[in-house]
């Protein structure tokens, strides 16, 4: 059953990633990225990492992707212009990707003890993890929250600034 669920959600993850690359509208790309992040959360659940799956849903699929979607909507981004790409990417890039994948496949095939896992001294509980996150790492956690808030306010200011300039210049032209 785990193998079937793994294959289904791995396929969702790959399909979402490919759809992300093929979309021309930024909102559709952001929605495809949400599919990828949610599929990864299910894969974490299959591995027995419930806290990591919940954090994946709350932080990435929830907060970060909503932030991306709002920023794209506030900046009024339309369709992206399609290009054929550069000549260097097709001449050097594709063979380089093939070589890198071949090296990774060779390393994986020749690795001994691949897939062997052992438990460490103790299993960390969610209580221990939350104590570290909200007591010892509270400052970086809050700084990250403030940076995300500043990014949202910056997107709103940029979106309003663009609309304010066209209205102000139109009023000035009509007044003169």
Rounded distance between C-alpha atoms, residue 136 and residue 126, angstroms: 15
Q: Taking the mean position of all CA atoms in its chain, how far away is CA 136?
A: 26
Host domain of residue 153: 126-176
115: helix, strand or coil: coil
5 and 60 housed in the same domain: yes
130 and 76 housed in the same domain: no
Residue with tokens 């691949």: 114
**Domain assignment of residue 106, yes or no:** no
For residue 28, give the CATH number of its domain.
1.20.120.1200
For the full predicted model, state whether its pTM sits above 0.85: no
Rounded distance between C-alpha atoms, residue 157 and residue 79, angstroms: 22
pLDDT by position in tens, the chain (length 176): 888 989 999 999 999 999 988 887 777 888 888 889 899 999 998 888 888 888 888 888 777 777 777 777 777 655 656 666 677 777 787 788 888 888 888 887 777 666 565 656 566 777 887 888 788 888 888 888 888 888 878 877 777 765 545 444 445 445 54
User: What Rg value do the Cα atoms of the chain yield, rounded?
Assistant: 23
Name the domain count of the chain. Answer: 2
**Number of other CB atoms surrounding residue 33 within 10 Å:** 21
**Domain assignment of residue 54, yes or no:** yes
**Domain assignment of residue 92, yes or no:** no
**Domain assignment of residue 108, yes or no:** no
**Domain assignment of residue 111, yes or no:** no
139 and 70 housed in the same domain: no
**Domain assignment of residue 120, yes or no:** no
**Domain assignment of residue 63, yes or no:** yes
**Domain assignment of residue 45, yes or no:** yes
């Amino acid at each position: 059953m785990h193998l079937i669920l793994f294959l289904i959600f791995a396929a969702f993850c790959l399909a979402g990633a490919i759809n992300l690359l093929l979309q021309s509208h930024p909102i559709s790309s952001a929605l495809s990225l949400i599919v990828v992040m949610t599929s990864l959360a299910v894969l974490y659940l299959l591995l027995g990492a419930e806290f990591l799956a919940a954090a994946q849903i709350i932080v990435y699929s929830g907060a970060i992707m909503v932030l991306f979607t709002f920023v794209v909507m506030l900046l009024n981004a339309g369709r992206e212009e399609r290009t054929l790409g550069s000549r260097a990417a097709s001449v050097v890039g594709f063979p380089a990707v093939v070589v890198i994948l071949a090296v990774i496949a060779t390393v994986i095939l020749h690795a001994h003890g691949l897939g062997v896992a052992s438990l460490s001294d103790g299993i960390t509980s969610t209580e221990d993890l939350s104590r570290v996150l909200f007591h010892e790492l509270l400052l970086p956690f809050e700084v990250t929250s403030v940076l995300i808030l500043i990014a949202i306010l910056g997107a709103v200011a940029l979106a309003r600034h663009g609309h304010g300039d066209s209205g102000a210049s139109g009023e000035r032209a009509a007044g003169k």
